[in-house]
Structure 1
């Protein structure tokens, strides 16, 4: 990667310090780490003449480490060891792997948020970004339970307002057609159509219309079948034949039997014709009434663009909408009361969160004052401002970290008021105050955060870095011998020229080499006995 040929580093728990001359490659190391973590930095990291550059980073994950959730969500293998690998080809293509599975830069960045924190004079990802100050304060205050209540109250408030708005919109829509509804419902109720009624009316109408045409012929047929017609003639013929049958020596028995059967059939025919005549008997006004109702049903169906059999269902629907209109004011009043109750619940939850934030802000400001004094910034004032902002799921507070570097001086945002050295110390003090046991799983990196300070102040910076590293892992790039002397592990970054190529290397230092490196940092290129003595004193603590 640029001036690195091949390099394997195994950083240890505790405070790891990296020192070396300017230009030795310390920033390239951080760029390489940022590359494998998916950070946006240098566009190209491939060393001249190489086909590609590759960076691999290995992390140990505790049982409840936040990276495990990211891996599960991304469908990647989860184990106690997390291996990130990313390749940068000479043509600019970048390819990443997580536990030997292809992964996007976005997944790498999401993992990096759970693995590493970078702090330096140009840190704009966390402490210097005002949009994240409320989240930092909430984390410091431990507001998980209060915020859960606030989010629930916000959701209830939003839902109550949504229901009220929907009801008001529906009522407004119904009111716009109130005249139509009342007229339509009255018209439908007055007619009271039934499903299937149109078909029945049409059948009856056709029967009555047909009856006028066929009843006369059926009546004639009934007369022809009656006693004055076929029935009487057949009865006379049967009576005459029965009287002559005894003298005909059996020759008329078949005829008599046939006539007897014919009389029975004739009687059945006459009965059915009579029933038909009865069925065709109707009141002359009934046809007119049937036609009027049939045409009324069909006309109303056309008016509402529905089938005649759907009129009854339409009547129920319109009646329901009219009823909703009539009770709309009552419903709106009830929903308005629900909105007021939801608003009150949210206001109470937001007020509780705000009170907790203000109390935590006072504690944080006091803790910062205690931390700034040893860093030779006892005259500076750090203040956590909690002001009313736009309401949201986490309440209605706007939080901002401000500083005033001297008494009476105006306060303002961290990155606008403090100088480079002051800003570094503010960031360090704030990080010490915010540090908790649950943050120990994150590797913290401080890039020359001690720049611009020396002597007792640099010693105070180093001791706070050492405290941060207790139970965790901290990497510090430093030019301060006081800071370097407090490291649990010391690495020297140096460069050399081989075959006209500049290469950077990193060497872990034993106690003797550490003394030599500290002496160099104290005296420059020429290491004096006095510098070595001072280095031994620093290492002795």
Structure 2
């Protein structure tokens, strides 16, 4: 509910504070007094597109603040959460327009974009009038309005789930077909490459091992001669023999040396042990260096083959095995493709059947709801003196089905029997259009949705009993919520719960607009003025009281 509106330096308003109430709120005043300026200011703070020049002459900037009370579960909470704004029961919107045209907005003291304001406005306010292009006159929203009227949320959820499942299965099939097509285009290459890699069967780390073997073999002849010399120097004809002789000689005299030879003998034993280890290591090395020419050729051939395949496929030698596994998987896609495609195609067909069934069920419920809405509209139009008009909800097939089914919904009217039906805003005249919109809103508003509804001169072109019927429908809409109506009709104003008069004050160099809250006596005078004109007579006051008490 719109609780307050604070306007500063906008158009011909210097400072204006309004406190609105639940129920039917009427704004009246002479033509040109500034009633539309209030709607321009409200539209500005809600992010609507409107006049380009809004700042009052002589002011540096204009500012509008709107305060809303949000009931539990209000749709605005979801918008606030998506925008990362703290959720509170009170919502304060503030927007500034500078003289150079820059606009800045805040929601609960959080800087926001105009897009966030517009998203919030869709949950807060509905504007209805002859130039309404946001609400009931916009055909894009007619399907959603019919679904809401018929309370089809559960059926819609089922249809949307079926649509998502269908899209998922179609994407899976398309991806599989693309993979198979890609694999088929390179099938010869894949089979040849896999066969070549399997024949070689390289292992991770093998290239480094082969390279070490090759370098060792290439250097073997040179180092083998030196190693043989070292083996001879350490053998019986060299160090081992000499140390053995020295050890025997010392052992022969040890008994007479009074223990002085024991330590040297122990040291020689250690030397012999280390010498033995060295000889075994040298012998192993000589064995390793023992090869024939064919072995070197075999090592080089395999090493060069591994490196050649690595260059061919632009991978590291150690990655050849994993690369082969990847090629093998691509071949598996091709080899198993027919079976996979058959399964995926069956899944798409099953998902299509489920979606078609859900969409058909939704279509049937919409047709039923359309007949109910048309009947309800016929009842509403009669008291509005449009009993000969025909309202019809047309449901036609959409060019492309979607998550909300396969229907296009459009509200059409024929103002006279036998006349061709057409869109609301193309067929109905000004006064007729106002009454169509009001009747439609009464029919569609079965449950309170937290919206503040604004009707801008929706009673234009009607009077007498018809205007009274319009006022009673507005009061019915406002019974469980809040309705603001800009009106020139005394019958409508007389039925309001709260009444404001918009006044324009002029001096020789300035024009200002203000709004005055009317008490009971002032309401009588204002409705009397609306009945009789500038001269308010006592008879006019009596007529005003009669309207207010009817």
- Fold shared per TM-score above 0.5: yes
Q: Distance in 2 between matches of 1:266 and 1:91?
A: 99
C-alpha contact (below 8 Å) 1:231/1:263 kept by paired residues: no
User: Does 2:366 correspond to 1:357?
Assistant: yes
Which of these residues, 178, 193, 218, is aligned with residue 169 of structure 1?
A: 178
Residue 233 to residue 107, structure 1, CA distance change in 2 (3 Å): closer
Alignment of 1:72-111 (within 5 A): 72-111=81-120
Q: Distance in 2 between matches of 1:95 and 1:279?
A: 84
Structure 1 residue 373: Cα displacement? 1.1
Q: How many residues align?
A: 531
C-alpha contact (below 8 Å) 2:77/2:87 kept by paired residues: yes
Structure 1 residue 464: Cα displacement? 0.4
Residue 524 to residue 148, structure 1, CA distance change in 2 (3 Å): same
User: Does 2:438 correspond to 1:413?
Assistant: no
Structure 1 residue 266: Cα displacement? 9.0
Structure 1 residue 450: Cα displacement? 0.8
Between 327-336 and 261-270, the greater mean CA deviation after superposition = 261-270
Q: CA RMSD in A?
A: 3.6
Residue 73 to residue 295, structure 1, CA distance change in 2 (3 Å): closer
Residue 362 of structure 1 aligns to a residue in which SS? Answer: helix
Residue 215 to residue 539, structure 1, CA distance change in 2 (3 Å): closer
2:47 maps to what in 1?
A: 38
1:56 maps to what in 2?
A: 65
Residue 282 to residue 150, structure 1, CA distance change in 2 (3 Å): same
Q: Distance in 1 between matches of 2:69 and 2:140?
A: 31
Which of these residues, 445, 455, 458, is aligned with residue 446 of structure 1?
A: 455
Alignment of 1:26-425 (within 5 A): 26-209=35-218, 278-282=287-291, 285-389=294-398, 390-425=400-435
1:514 maps to what in 2?
A: 523
C-alpha contact (below 8 Å) 1:478/1:484 kept by paired residues: yes
Structure with the greater alpha carbon radius of gyration: 1
Q: Distance in 2 between matches of 1:232 and 1:34?
A: 110
Q: Distance in 1 between matches of 2:321 and 2:430?
A: 82
Between 291-300 and 418-427, the greater mean CA deviation after superposition = 291-300
C-alpha contact (below 8 Å) 1:485/1:538 kept by paired residues: yes
Q: Distance in 2 between matches of 1:45 and 1:329?
A: 67
C-alpha contact (below 8 Å) 1:16/1:476 kept by paired residues: yes
Between 31-40 and 359-368, the greater mean CA deviation after superposition = 31-40
User: Does 2:445 correspond to 1:435?
Assistant: yes
TM-score (norm 1): 0.86
Q: Distance in 2 between matches of 1:211 and 1:292?
A: 18
Task: Spell out, residue by residue over 1:363-415, the C-alpha distance to the aligned partner (whole angstroms, 9 max, x if none).
Answer: 11111111111111111111111111122222221111111111111111111
TM-score (norm 2): 0.85
Between 348-357 and 380-389, the greater mean CA deviation after superposition = 348-357
Task: Spell out, residue by residue over 1:187-230, the C-alpha distance to the aligned partner (whole angstroms, 9 max, x if none).
Answer: 12122222233333344445555556676887799899989x77
Structure 1 residue 513: Cα displacement? 3.1
Residue 308 to residue 525, structure 1, CA distance change in 2 (3 Å): closer
Residue 198 to residue 530, structure 1, CA distance change in 2 (3 Å): closer
Structure 1: any 5+ residue segments left out of the alignment? none
C-alpha contact (below 8 Å) 1:234/1:263 kept by paired residues: no
Task: Spell out, residue by residue over 1:335-374, the C-alpha distance to the aligned partner (whole angstroms, 9 max, x if none).
Answer: 2222222222222222222222222111111111111111
Q: Distance in 1 between matches of 2:105 and 2:470?
A: 36
Residue 79 of structure 1 aligns to a residue in which SS? Answer: coil
User: Does 2:18 correspond to 1:9?
Assistant: yes
Structure 1 residue 426: Cα displacement? 0.5
User: Does 2:546 correspond to 1:540?
Assistant: no
Structure 1 residue 63: Cα displacement? 2.6
Residue 196 to residue 24, structure 1, CA distance change in 2 (3 Å): closer
Between 477-486 and 195-204, the greater mean CA deviation after superposition = 195-204
C-alpha contact (below 8 Å) 1:411/1:417 kept by paired residues: yes
Between 194-203 and 345-354, the greater mean CA deviation after superposition = 194-203
Residue 307 to residue 48, structure 1, CA distance change in 2 (3 Å): closer
Structure 1 residue 169: Cα displacement? 1.2
C-alpha contact (below 8 Å) 2:448/2:481 kept by paired residues: no
Residue 293 to residue 410, structure 1, CA distance change in 2 (3 Å): same
